[in-house]
Amino acid sequence: MNLKDFWIGDSVRIISQDLIGKFAGEDNMGNAKVDYNGELIQVLIEDLELYTEPEPVIEQVDIEPEPVKGFQTLQKQKLISHVIDLHYNVLAPDRFRINPHENILEFQIQKCKEFIEFNLQRRVNYIQIIHGKGQGILKAEVEKLLNGFDRVRFSNSTPDGGGLEVFLK
């Protein structure tokens, strides 16, 4: 790709840092400018790619309500996801650019903890946590969090290295 393929405002990913931002144009040296949380970062074009939000993985679960005397039971469907994407722009898209949380890592870990607890209550035995491929800080914190749950059987890195597959008891 070259810089002419990007439009100002396009969502882009800085590959080497696994950061998602907005394309903000070209500097006078021919490098890309990326707006990341209000900060302009200069990036080589080879280190930039267009970014599209991953589609959430949603599983349909049939829920059978208690039968009511004199009425036929109807099956209801509820959409439940067993995957959480901890990228900040996915967790808090409304706050990503304007007024981000003071401690983003703490916010991500809190959301991950809530997700794990919710799935443990539902007796789910498999979840996936997407942490990204950055510097490994978020991954290490997620692994530390998982070690605090006695109902986590084990976890594996996903094949692409950007997430964890977690098996629950």
| Global pTM value | 0.52
Closest CA to 132 of 164, 105, 95, 91: 164
Give the CATH number of domain 3-50.
Answer: 2.30.30
Write down the pLDDT at residue 18: 86
Q: How many CB atoms lie within 10 A of CB 51?
A: 18
User: What are the pLDDT tens digits along the chain (169 aa)?
Assistant: 778 888 989 999 999 988 999 999 999 888 999 999 889 999 998 999 988 877 666 655 555 555 544 444 444 444 557 889 998 888 887 776 666 667 889 989 999 999 999 889 988 899 999 998 888 899 999 999 999 999 999 888 888 888 999 999 8
Write down the pLDDT at residue 104: 86
Domain residue limits, the chain:
3-50, 82-168
Of the candidate CATH numbers 1.10.8.590, 3.40.190.80, 3.30.1370.110, 3.40.1280.10, the domain formed by 82-168 belongs to: 3.30.1370.110
